[in-house]
Chain A
Amino acid sequence: MEVIRIKPKHFPEPVAPFSYGIKVRGGDFLFIPHQTPVDSRGEIVGKGDILRQATQVYENLKAILSEMSATFENVVKITWYLTTRENWKPVVEVRNKYFKDTWPAATFVLLDRLSSKDVLVELNAMAVIQ
């Protein structure tokens, strides 16, 4: 399996760390559906607290990856959904703790509402594993 992060030479550095594109040779794909800020009992954590909710979402993603013996280095694409633009910076802050230098291709979308009125952030992902 080979993962190559793409940045066209004439493109600027992204406004937040991410890869413009990720090229993959070999490996199996892991498609991860929307992760919400719920704990192992299925209860929403951190109502009104974007940092806590984003951390829970990433912890859930980490648990799924771990189950497949994968890490955040294996993630090639994430799409995150927020209900307010103000939460973008704190979510990037949390994301940066998990991804380090292996930035995925990312999409950010602002929606009126997520799976519950108490959910401030959701995330789905694709990973490539051996």
Chain B
Amino acid sequence: MEKPGEMGSERVTNKEIVLPQDTNEASIFGIRVSQAREWLFIAGTVPRGTNNSVVGKKDIRKQMTQVFDNLRGILHEGGFTMNDLIQLNVYLTDESHRPAYFEFSKKIFLNNPVAQTVLVVRGLNNPDVLIEIDGIACIA
């Protein structure tokens, strides 16, 4: 299994992947940040479109796509990129969506590991919202 730290030139300057020596499990890693100049605290980001309505009702794939588009929008506005993310909390409302999320996010974070916690909760701010993500980014 590919380990997240094996990404060479993709690594951002102040973000170091910390890997224990005796494991090949991809999820066992930490992220060390040093000398960060700017931090971005991202609110719980939901799959709302530009008119504030929930996009992709009952469609987790559409909602994941919209949430990540919104995350990119917030990061961009602050002068950050997806590579600057260090930590995410992912809230799902349905346990059965967990594999779809991991498959979706694996492609995004393959060369850019993020410390993620994925939780299944009873509900989010609107009954139609299936996924919400908040997190922290920083740049040197």
Contacts and interface: CB of A to CB of B under 8 A. Distances in A.
A111 B120 CA distance: 9
A22 interface: yes
Interface in B50-89: 50-52, 70, 73-79, 89
A20 B43 contact: yes
Contact of B40 (A7, A15, A23, A108): A23
Interface string A12-52: 11010011111111000000000000000000000000000
B39 A88 contact: no
B134 A105 contact: yes
Interface residues of A, number: 33
Contact of A7 (B48, B77, B79, B121): B77
A88 B44 CA distance: 15
A8 B76 contact: yes
Contact of B134 (A8, A10, A23, A107): A107
A109 B91 contact: yes
Interface in B83-105: 89, 91
Contacts of A20: 42-43, 45, 74, 77
Given A8-B76, A11-B73, A77-B134, A105 B41 contact: yes
Contact of B50 (A11, A22, A105, A108): A11
Contact of A23 (B39, B44, B45, B48): B39
B122 interface: yes
A20 B50 CA distance: 13
Given A8-B74, A12-B48, A107-B132, A22 B122 contact: no
A25 B50 CA distance: 29
22 contacts: A6-B40, A6-B74, A11-B50, A11-B70, A13-B52, A20-B43, A21-B40, A21-B41, A21-B42, A21-B43, A77-B43, A85-B127, A88-B125, A105-B44, A105-B134, A107-B43, A107-B89, A108-B125, A109-B121, A109-B124, A110-B122, A112-B122
